[in-house]
Structure 1
Amino acid sequence: MPAVFRPVVEAARHRLPRLYGPRLHSAYLYGSIPRGTARAGRSDLDLLVALHDEPSDTDRQEARALGAALDQEFPQIDGVGTLLHGRERLLSDLERHDLGWFVACLCTPLLGDDLAARLPRYRPDDPLLARETNGDLALILPRWRERIAAAGETEEARRPLVRFMSRHLVRTGFTLVMGRWQGWTSDLHEMAAAFGTYYPARAAQMTAAAVRGYEPVGDLALLRAYADDLGPWLAGEYARVHGVKAPRP
């Protein structure tokens, strides 16, 4: 981990137990900071937090407030994203090939007992893994269009959407080809390159999305292209190759 990010990681390590107390089971880092590729002032802090019970709306609000406080206090990060889930959900059969895989293969332990010890060994060529990780893009796209319409007129308001949607599309593109690539990675540029090997006609779009996943701009035309062109095409191809993700409650 680059030394510049250690203070913000230590702050998260100390504040999460104060926030959730004995309900906190474990916490993890993922993304560019534990991977060692983060850039000061450009990269965000990505956290996954597991509670002993299912989180409430209040728990999620508190996680957002903690993220906002860390973002305000530490200029070396550009935002904080926190995934908050209950321990039983992360270990459930339904999430075994989605959130469970994510914890076991793409997360770095920060606090508590590592749930990866309770999860299986995964293979990148497992079609069930590909289906369950990102096989719901078609269901998500209508909500994306609503969020784009509600994002407002300012570039600042649209930048988080560009970051989020860029990353989601690149990760979906990567899991589409993960079995053929025979591995996994959390680096967006590597993901886009792997995708482009098998879908050269869409390679430039995915490469550009990887750039915007790290360096977002509040471009309304880009968001619309995601929701109306790249996203629908990717959802259709994903369903054709891997099928549709099992419904969640």
Structure 2
Amino acid sequence: MSGRGLDPDGTIAREGALDRVSATFEPVVEAARSRVAGTFGGGRLHSAYLYGSVPRGAALPGISDLDVLLVLHDEPTDVDRADAHAVEAALDAAFPQIDGVGIGLLSTRTVLSDLERHDLGFFVACLCTPLLGEDLARHLPRYRPTPLLARETNGDLALLLPDWRARAAAAGTEAERKTLSRSVGRRLVRTGFTLVMPRWGGWTSDLAESADLFARYYPDHADQMHLAATTGRTPSSDPATLSLLIDDLAPWLAAEYTTVHGEKTPRR
């Protein structure tokens, strides 16, 4: 793999692997594997994946969360979502080295659909590490850092802004503001990186590196993007930080993204 996250043929390399999980987080991963298999057995589960800092080997004890994706044979139901929440709570309570657990649910039909080929398909093939079941990456193409990939992964930032503003206004506790600031910071950095990804010609999921690369092309917004990266790693309960990210950086970034790459293909 090159220094730009690419395989020798110029396609984006899969960024995580189970052998990169540090010893501190190995018990967490094994418990996740066991609980998911036990909870979603009986033919519901097609495959399970890890993503984020844990399979990249970059997780920090007590700070990083555990991100899991479950791909089901059928569309997720309320029962599936309730079961996923129960697994999240059990893992979070059992392991102090993780700060939260997030389990996403998708169907095989959605992941392999033409509409999601350059969004969720890319996510599974390049950003997810197989944990259980058949790896869907074998049914998906190899991806390159193209404007099409940029548009389909993050060309919908503008649609998130009303919800972010409503959540910020309703957040009455430090914990609520921290949860929101973490997700906002991460999304803004990832969007900022994919804005410049085709020009840079590579891939990274590292927040600090992503902010640095963005700053090469947009120095006037470098400080704001570095703040977003810091907040994505260490959430802030400061309302002023949330306001700067949501009301200042985000609208500019959404408009610039549409100008450069266009809008993401609409979803129902």
Give the shorter-chain TM-score range: over 0.9
Could you tell me which amino acid in structure 2 is paired with residue 38 of structure 1? Answer: A
Report the alpha carbon displacement of residue 128 of structure 1 after superposing the two structures with TM.
1.3
| CA–CA distance in structure 2, aligned partners of residues 28 and 2 of structure 1 | 17
What is aligned with 2:209? 190
Corresponding residue to 2:184 among 162, 165, 188: 165
Corresponding residue to 1:207 among 226, 231, 236: 226
What is aligned with 2:113? 92
TM-score normalised by length of structure 1? 0.96
Identity of aligned residues (%): 65
Q: Are 2:122 and 1:122 equivalent residues in the alignment?
A: no
What is aligned with 1:60? 81
Q: Flag structure 1 segments of 5+ consecutive residues without an equivalent.
A: none
| CA–CA distance in structure 2, aligned partners of residues 65 and 194 of structure 1 | 38
Q: Are 2:94 and 1:73 equivalent residues in the alignment?
A: yes
What is aligned with 1:140? 160
Report the alpha carbon displacement of residue 190 of structure 1 after superposing the two structures with TM.
1.3
| CA–CA distance in structure 1, aligned partners of residues 214 and 85 of structure 2 | 32
Give the number of equivalent residue pairs: 247
Report the alpha carbon displacement of residue 65 of structure 1 after superposing the two structures with TM.
2.5
What is aligned with 2:4? none
| CA–CA distance in structure 2, aligned partners of residues 147 and 112 of structure 1 | 36
**3-state secondary structure, aligned to 2:205:** coil
Report the alpha carbon displacement of residue 189 of structure 1 after superposing the two structures with TM.
1.0
TM-score normalised by length of structure 2? 0.90
Corresponding residue to 2:57 among 29, 36, 54: 36
Could you tell me which amino acid in structure 1 is paired with residue 255 of structure 2? Answer: G
| CA–CA distance in structure 2, aligned partners of residues 151 and 9 of structure 1 | 32
Q: Do 2:224 and 2:245's aligned partners in 1 also have CA atoms closer than 8 Å?
A: no
Report the alpha carbon displacement of residue 235 of structure 1 after superposing the two structures with TM.
0.3
Deviations 1:45-102 (A, max 9, x none): 0111100111123322322231122111100000112221111100100000001001
Q: Are 2:5 and 1:5 equivalent residues in the alignment?
A: no
**3-state secondary structure, aligned to 1:104:** helix
Deviations 1:203-228 (A, max 9, x none): 11111211111111212111122221
**3-state secondary structure, aligned to 1:25:** strand
What is aligned with 1:175? 194
Corresponding residue to 1:19 among 34, 39, 42: 39
| CA–CA distance in structure 1, aligned partners of residues 202 and 72 of structure 2 | 30
Kindly report structure 1 stretches of 4+ aligned residues shifted beyond 3 Å: none
Q: Are 2:199 and 1:218 equivalent residues in the alignment?
A: no
Report the alpha carbon displacement of residue 119 of structure 1 after superposing the two structures with TM.
0.4
| CA–CA distance in structure 1, aligned partners of residues 138 and 188 of structure 2 | 29
Could you tell me which amino acid in structure 1 is paired with residue 260 of structure 2? Answer: V
Q: Do 1:31 and 1:187's aligned partners in 2 also have CA atoms closer than 8 Å?
A: no
**3-state secondary structure, aligned to 1:246:** coil
RMSD: 1.1
Q: Do 1:71 and 1:78's aligned partners in 2 also have CA atoms closer than 8 Å?
A: yes
